[in-house]
């Protein structure tokens, strides 16, 4: 067994990298970080693109195996191969619920408000900063509202699914962080906010916060 630690390629503010930081912490997987400054386009540098051809963070470098891309594929791989706290419940119906919550954020919300898309809204569609921010808030609001509705279900506990944190929480907390960056009104989402508070009381989440990263500005 190769015992060199995994390397998470990320950026303090990337909410997709943030998800993986949470998962690695929940699992207790030893790892180091390599930071790529997205605003300075370091994710497009040749040596990083050689590692992850899509030129996006996060990517997880696993010694002896290779490089994994896509945050949710990384979370599923961690779940299948690493001991430590489970990211998904045991029953298939519960697993589907958690995945649906995670995908509501990872597919329907975050991709519409990440850096490359906001740049395109600004430069290709000619929006000013107010227009860009309104675009981001629109999609963030729809996404968190959809999650909030489902959080009214009985399966919700102190966390998105029952009383232990997992894959859905690892997506929700970073999305709420993004929501604040765009000054989204979060008062309609008390269930999401309560879960966020429960998460960020845990070291696994607290240590994954953007402000806790060495590359934070």
- Tell me how far apart the alpha carbons of residues 194 and 185 are, in angstroms, rounded to a whole number: 15
Pairing of strands 31-35, 6-10: parallel
Instruction: Give 131's Cβ-side CA count (13 Å radius).
Output: 11
Find the part of the chain contacting a second copy (CB under 8 A) among 1-9, 108-116, 156-164, 186-194.
108-116
The residue from 31, 37, 137, 150 that contacts a second copy (CB under 8 A) is: 150
Kindly indicate which of the ranges 20-28, 117-125, 175-183, 188-196 contains the residues binding a second copy, using the contact rule CB under 8 A: 117-125
Binding residue (CB under 8 A) for a second copy from 33, 137, 138, 158: 138
CB of 25 to a second copy, least distance (A): 19
d(CA 162, CA 154): 9
Q: Of these, 63, 111, 188, 203, which contacts a second copy (CB under 8 A)?
A: 111
Contacting a second copy within 36-55 (CB under 8 A): 53-54
Q: CB of residue 90 vs a second copy: minimum separation in angstroms?
A: 11
Which member of 39, 96, 183, 216 binds a second copy (CB under 8 A)?
96
Contact yes or no for 7/158 (Cβ under 8 A): no
DSSP 120-189: HHHHTS---HHHHHHHHHHHHHHHHHHHHHHTTSTTB-SSSSBTS--HHHHHHHHHHHHHHHTT---TT-
Closest CA to 215 of 68, 69, 43: 43
C-beta closer to a second copy: residue 146 or 186: 146
**What residues line the site for a second copy (CB under 8 A)?**
53-54, 56, 65-66, 68-70, 72-74, 76-77, 80-81, 92-93, 95-97, 99-100, 103-104, 106-108, 110-112, 117, 120-121, 124-125, 127, 131, 134-135, 138, 146, 149-150
């Amino acid at each position: 067994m190769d015992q060199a630690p995994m390397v998470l390629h990320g950026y303090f503010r990337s909410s997709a990298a943030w998800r993986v930081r949470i998962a690695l912490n929940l699992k207790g997987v030893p790892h180091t970080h390599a930071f790529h400054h997205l605003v300075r386009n370091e994710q497009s540098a040749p040596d990083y693109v050689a590692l992850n051809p899509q030129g996006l963070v996060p990517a997880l470098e696993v010694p002896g195996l290779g490089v994994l891309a896509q945050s949710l594929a990384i979370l599923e791989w961690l779940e299948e191969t690493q001991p430590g706290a489970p990211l998904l419940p045991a029953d298939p119906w519960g697993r589907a619920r958690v995945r649906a919550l995670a995908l509501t954020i990872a597919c329907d919300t975050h991709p519409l408000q990440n850096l490359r898309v906001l740049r395109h809204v600004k430069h290709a569609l000619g929006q000013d900063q107010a227009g860009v921010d309104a675009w981001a808030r629109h999609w963030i609001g729809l996404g968190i509202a959809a999650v909030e509705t489902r959080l009214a279900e009985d399966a919700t506990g102190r966390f998105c699914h029952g009383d232990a944190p997992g894959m859905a929480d690892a997506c929700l907390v970073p999305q709420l962080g993004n929501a604040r960056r765009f000054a989204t009104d979060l008062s309609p989402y008390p269930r999401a906010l309560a879960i966020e508070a429960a998460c960020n009381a845990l070291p696994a989440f607290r240590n994954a916060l953007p402000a806790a990263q060495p590359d934070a500005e």
